[in-house]
Structures are given as structure tokens and as C-alpha cells.
Chains A and B, each alone.
Chain A
Amino acid sequence: MNTNTQAQPISRGARRAVLTYIGTAGVVILLMMVLGFVMRLTQGKVLDVNLQYFYQIMTVHGTGMVGIVGLGSAAIMWYFLSQYVGLSIKVFLLNWVLFLIGVVMILGSVIFGHFAGAWTFLYPLPAHSMGQWSHTAAAFFLGGLTVIGVGFLVLHLDVARAILVRYGSLGKALGWPQLFGQDTSEAPPPAVVASTMVLIINILGITSGAAILIMSLVNLFMPSFQINALLAKNLIFFFGHVFINATIYMSVIGVYEILPRYARRPWKSSKWFLAAWNASTVMVIIVYPHHLLMDFAMPTWMEIMGQIISYLSGLPVLVVTAFGALTVVHRSGIRWDMASGLMLLSAFGWAAGVVPAIIDGTIRANEVLHNTLWVPGHFHFYLLLGVGSMLFGFMYFLGQQEVQDHAVSPVDRIAFWAFAIGALGFVFTFLYEGSLSVPRRYGEHLSMWAGYDRIASLFIVLILVAVLVFVGRFFGRLIAPTRVNA
């Protein structure tokens, strides 16, 4: 058997740790969705939430979603990667504990300190609240994010350690000998290649995030310590861009691992696959200026690079992952259940979401779409339909293993279609409103926009009901008397 791709069964302790992660993710995602629902109802003038509370809710929703999707995605990566390399359960759990500590700090700063600086904490807003929140509240928020970042950093360092022990170098784990050399042996499996890419980009991204977080903390209490606003923006958006993209790259490991098992077809690291992931490693790092296209003080070459790389970075997704998923499934006699169904839906969500993202990364389009609802439209596309489906599919995958039952009940089937239709309707309402120039992050909308907000809220009801079923089925299987993995 090829030593590069030999998988080991996961231990019971490791499995429990993964269940803890993904269970936490399921519950928190549901809660954050409720907050998103409240925001859309407020914009639709169905609820009357004052601006202060609206922006506090917005801050928790954004921070919470980014963080919890990061946690859930890390669980998918860790679960499959641990079958190829020796990861530390203690480090994995340490990240979970630090995450909870960070969440408590952030919730404290928002609920008790009224912090509402958004998850982007764009310098110097945390220090300029105009009396809405104190510097202490801002410090708790920034400190909480730092603690969460430290947890993820330690986790990725452990991933790096384990991969280096098994494969000898990051280059070998990325399949360089097979891609660039004469090595004809089988390359490391997709889970290893993707995890290596993620650790590289996330270590860089989180370090940048930590740098600006610490600088912002110093600025809070030493206002004479000024930060160049453009530098701060670059650091924040580099960190934010890399972290949220890494969630997709971690979660998609579930697609690479789960779909082939159901289709009984291998998904190997071909040269195309390796080329795509190696290219993506570089592109995800240098594409971030597409978030700063309306910052005319940026060097023009960086803006142009942002546009060009936005287009190029769509190719690996559209040509390798989405097409790969279709190839594995096509005429395979695949066994469909909720896990495999959600994984295929996720490949569609990621691929289709790339299109409005590329459009937003086009400078001439960004001039009229930047910071409109087009932006949450495109990122909810690949995060809700893409990463969300991957996470829920993984929950079904684990839950079904717990009870050795892959049956799809009518309720599951209805929930699947409710989720798919609800999510598509929800993101397209965002995109349509974006095309009408409705601004994002507005606590109150003009009456002419409220009707669309209400339509979006109806789609959210479908999503919420579906996710309630997904999460309920997961926990139901964990406490089922027929559980075999207890």
C-alpha cells in the first residue's frame, strides 16, 4: 500500500472531540442565523430594533459566524487529516477551550459594554464610538478575537508538526515531487494537500490579524500610538479574507472524502488537483486587495492584481473541485442520503458563489457594488450554500455513523429542499438588492427596499426550519439508544 495515502481509523477520544466541535458549531450557527433573521426583519420594518441594538446584533452575527464556521471547518479538516497524520487531541481541545473563552469575552463586550464595531473592527472605529461603547468594551472584543486567533494558530502549528513528521516537508505534502519532479508514486491524499495549504495561509493570516489586533489594543489606551489607516485596512482584510477562505478549504475536505465513499470511486490527488491547490495557495494570499478596490490610495498595481487574481482563483474551484465532484458522482450508482446530498449541494454552492464574487472583484463593477448588499449576497452564497452544506453534511455523516442508519426520512428530505430553496432565495434577494444599490450594514432601510427584506425573511424561515432539523437530527442520533459508537 502506498505510504503517502494510507489511512488509519480515528480513535474514540478523537471522535468525541470532533463531535464536540461540530455539535458546538451546529448550535451556534443556528443561534447566529436567528440574529441574522432579526436583522432582516428589522430592515423590512417588521421588527423595531433600535440602531444601537441592531449594530450590536450585527457585530455578534458577523463575528460569531466567521468564528464558528472556522471552528466547524477545523473539525472537518481535523477528522479526516487525523486519519493520515498524528494530530494532538489536547491541542485540538485547547483550541475549543480558547474559542469559548474568546466568545465569552466578545459577548461580554457586546452585551454589557455595547460594543458594535463590526467583526472587521476597522481601525480607528473601536476607539471612536462617539460614546456608544467604552475603550474597555473595545479591548474585551479585540482581546477575545486575539484569544480565538491564538487557539487557531496553535492548532495549525500542530497540523504543521504532524504533516512534517509524516511527509518530511510542506512541499512534499503539497505534492511537489509528483507535480514538478519525476516522482511517479501516488501523491498525498486531498485531505493532506488541502490541510497543508490551509496551515500555510492561515498561519500568515492569523499572524497578520494578531498584529493589527495588538496594535489596535495599544492605540485604545495610548492614543498617541497612531496606526496608518491604510496599513491597518490591509492587515485586517488580509486576515479576514484568508481566515474565511480557509474555512472553505478546510470544509471541502469533507467533499473530497465523503462523496468518493458513497460513490465507491477514488478522489486522488491528480496533477490537475495538485496544480490547482498549489496555485490557490499563492492566489488566496495575493488576491486580498480586491476588498480594497475603492481605496484609491492603494497602489494601482495591487488593485489590478486583485482583479486578475480574482478571475484566476475561480478556475481551481470551477474546473477542479466542482467538476471533480460531478465526475465522481456521474453514473456512479451513488448511495444518496443526507450526507452525500448535502456534499453535492455544497460543491454547487461554492462553485456558483464564485461568480458574483468574481463580478464584485471586477473594479468597474465594484465601483457600483462595493458595500451594497451584493457583498453579503456573494459571500452568503458560498458560505451558506457551500460551507454550510459541508458542515451540515458532515454532521449527518457522523450522526449516521453513530447509529449505523443512513435512512432519509420524509422530514430530512423536506428539510434538504427547504434549505436549498431557502438559501438560494435568500442569497438572490441579497444580490438583487445589491443590484439596486441597497447599502449593506444599514440598520434602517428606505421603505422602497423593505419589501425585498421581507421576502428575504421568508426565505430565512425556510433555512431556519431546515437547520433546526439538521441539528436536531444530529443530537437526536447522539442520544439515541441504538447508538453504536458511544
Chain B
Amino acid sequence: MTRQDIALLLTTLTTSGMAWAFLYVARNSRHEEDYKSVIKRCYRVRNVWLWGLIIIAGPLMVGTLFNLPYAAASNNKALDVDVVGHQWYWEMSRDQLPVGKQVVFHVASADVNHDFAIYDQNMHVVAQVQAMPGYINNLSHTFTKPGTYKVMCLQYCGMMHTQMTAEIHVTDQGDSIHTKGGQS
């Protein structure tokens, strides 16, 4: 199950639960009952609801704060790739990369803001980072499957934004990597 699947599942379940609660209350709204007794009962439910939220969302909030993408830095074992976004093409120092080896993309922009997003063969995003003028953002990623990955720009950057694509070829023959000033 991908992170995207989990996101959709969580949203669908919680939205359905809330829709049920609202429909339940709406259906029972025509019967009149003393407000004080309603408040007393509702406040009990509210406390359960609050603690439920804390118990469910709390660990999710804390647990997802590990393995953040911000500490990417090159080391002896990592493969460095310089990436520069231009209106409207990508310039990459390499476009052939190995499976199973950490790659650190050093992403910059020559003009406006772009977003360097890597799509797998199923056209799902596997990693991304903003490309910003005046800054180099380091994105660490390890490809787990060989194949052709597509690079797309996810930050609107002008009329030909959709045409700003490139390809990364990931092979399990790490030794055959060569350097190329690739662009779309």
C-alpha cells in the first residue's frame, strides 16, 4: 500500500464517519428534547471524541516525524546528480542511475520556481523537491526498481510548464553509469 493509498483510505473513512454523524443528528433533529440533558450527553461524547482524536492522530503526528527528507547530504557512498530547472527543460548531470544506490539530487533553478518530481513507471510520484532560484535543495532517493522514470515539473512555471519533462534510466548495472547533460 502506497502513501497515496493510505491518504485516500484515511480521508474516505473519516469523511464517511463524519457524514454519518451529521446525517444521524439531522435525522434526529425534529424530536425536541431539553437542551440541558442534550448538552450533558453531548459533552460526554465530545470528551470521548477529543481523546479519540488525540489517541489516533497523536501517534500519527509524532510517528511521521522520523525519516524526514531534509537531511540529505552527499557522502562517499552516494551518487551526486546536479539538476537545474529552466523554463522549460531540465538539465541533469546524469540521467542513467543504478538500482539500490543512494542518489543525491542537487536541485537548483536558473530562472523561476520549479518542482523536480520523479514519477515511476506507473506514473506515481516517488520523490520530489522544489527548485528555487538562489538555492540548492538536496533530494536523496534510492531507486528500488530498474526502469525508465519520468521527471515532471510540479510547480507552475509558465505556459509550457507541462512540457518540462525528462527521463531517468535506472538500471541494475551500476558500473555502466555515464554522465550526460540531459534535457527534454
Contacts and interface: CB of A to CB of B under 8 A. Distances in A.
Nearest to A55: B159
A369 B42 CA distance: 36
B132 A369 contact: no
Interface residues of A, number: 80
Contacts of A322: 18
A233 B132 contact: yes
A452 interface: no
Most chain A C-beta atoms within 10 Å of own C-beta, residue among B8, B42, B49, B64: B8
Interface SS of chain A: helix, strand, loop or mixed?
A: helix
B75 interface: no
B65 interface: yes
Interface stretch (A6-14, A98-106, A312-320): A312-320
Contacts of B72: 296
Interface string B2-42: 11111110111011001101100110111111010011001
A304 B64 CA distance: 10
B134 to A, nearest CB: 5
B25 A330 contact: yes
Contact of A368 (B3, B31, B43, B137): B3
Interface in B95-119: 111-113, 115, 117, 119
Nearest to A58: B156
A3 interface: no
Given A132-B158, A295-B130, A355-B15, A315 B33 contact: no
A329 B26 contact: yes
A344 B22 contact: yes
A370 B139 CA distance: 15
Interface in A303-345: 303-304, 307-308, 311, 314-315, 318-319, 322-323, 326-327, 329-334, 336, 344-345
Interface of A: 51-52, 55, 116, 118, 120, 122, 124-125, 128-130, 132, 228-230, 233, 263, 265, 294-297, 300, 303-304, 307-308, 311, 314-315, 318-319, 322-323, 326-327, 329-334, 336, 344-345, 347-348, 351-352, 355-356, 358-359, 362-365, 367-372, 374, 428, 431-432, 434-437, 439-444, 446, 448
Interface of B: 2-8, 10-12, 14-15, 18-19, 21-22, 25-26, 28-33, 35, 38-39, 42-43, 46, 49-50, 53, 57-58, 60-61, 64-65, 67-72, 87-88, 111-113, 115, 117, 119, 123-130, 132-139, 152, 154-162
